[in-house]
Amino acid sequence: MMYKNNFAAAIKVDGKILREFGDTVYLPFGSEYQIRLKNLNSRRVKVKVQIDGETVTGNDLVMNAYETFDLERFIRNGNLTEGNRFKFIERTSKIEQHRGIEVEDGIISIHFEFEMPNWGIQTNPNVVYRGASDRYTSRRVNLGNTQYETPTGWYSNTSASINALSDTYGVINTSGEIHDGYAVFDLNDTGITVEGSKSDQTFGTTTWNGSLGTLGEVINIKLLGETEQNKAVREAVTVKTKLKCKTCGTMNPATSKFCSECGTSLQII
């Protein structure tokens, strides 16, 4: 799992987290995948996910403090109830001729910003949650020698609507079955993400109190369907996948950087 400034991200296939090699993840062409997002901060975080240069989250997503969420589908045309799963395929010569080649192909960029503390009286906030009711009474909290009035939840004095990953009752997420397959093409080390099977993963909306005034952070993950040795990835490389030494053939634990037998740097074979 890649970590940066109290936020972490990883790729999942078949419910298993894949191992990163630097900023690269290997998975078979034809795989449907999820993007695991984990907020390790005590504040909410606003997240925008781009795949192959395209923003796939519609409006920004909002995650609660310490929340973990698996994003599995495109959010397009404001559809918060269903969409297509992420599917990784090879960028073949025919695709290149029709679609073209983009410098960001195969790259997932996860942009995130943490929320500014929300102090002061908030009245009639513009918040929409699935199954929500009237929960907008104020409460008083004591911060040092000063008292502030705050609402009962993470509400905002802005009117901008943002996709919300969770309501006060937990994550709004309907996971579906992931179908994996293998594309049969002339191999190319570059893949792209296209529309896969239907997903019923659902979202609500909320408001945002403003960012902390920074430019935000970015985590980049590169997806590849072929190894550096020009061999097709036939099985997703998970964090539990043992590594075979190309020099002596010894199988090493997934966390090893060098072969325990001969000392060779471990690579995907």
Same domain, 232 and 259: no
**Does a structural domain hold residue 138?**
no
Same domain, 107 and 193: yes
- With contact defined as beta carbons under 8 Å apart, do 153 and 146 qualify? no
Closest listed residue to residue 45, CA positions, set 172, 169, 214: 214
Give the C-alpha separation, 148 to 142, whole Å: 7
Residue type at 124 in one-letter notation:
N
Assigned token pair, 210: 């403003």
Same domain, 229 and 263: no
Query: What pLDDT score does 189 carry?
Result: 62
Same domain, 265 and 168: no
Query: What pLDDT score does 58 carry?
Result: 86
Assigned token pair, 178: 């992931």
**Does a structural domain hold residue 167?**
yes
Closest listed residue to residue 255, CA positions, set 240, 268, 265: 240
Give the C-alpha separation, 71 to 56, whole Å: 10
* Count of the separate structural domains present in the chain: 2
**Does a structural domain hold residue 148?**
no
Same domain, 190 and 262: no
**Does a structural domain hold residue 55?**
yes
**Does a structural domain hold residue 248?**
yes
Global pTM reads 0.68
* DSSP β-ladder status, 61-63 and 162-164: parallel
Tokens 């045309």 sit at which residue?
Answer: 77
Same domain, 112 and 245: no
Q: Which residues, at least 6 apart from 134, have a Cβ–Cβ distance to it below 8 Å?
A: none
> Which domain does 69 fall in, by range?
2-117+160-238
**Does a structural domain hold residue 126?**
no
Residue type at 36 in one-letter notation:
R
User: How many other CB atoms are found less than 10 A from the CB of residue 53?
Assistant: 11
Same domain, 259 and 174: no
Tens place of pLDDT per residue across the chain (269 aa): 899 999 999 999 999 999 888 899 999 999 999 999 999 999 999 999 999 999 999 888 999 999 999 999 999 999 999 999 999 999 999 999 999 999 999 999 999 999 987 654 343 333 333 233 333 333 333 333 333 333 333 333 333 345 665 432 223 232 333 223 333 333 456 899 999 999 999 999 888 888 776 668 999 999 999 876 677 787 777 766 677 787 888 888 877 778 888 988 876 54
Same domain, 212 and 266: no
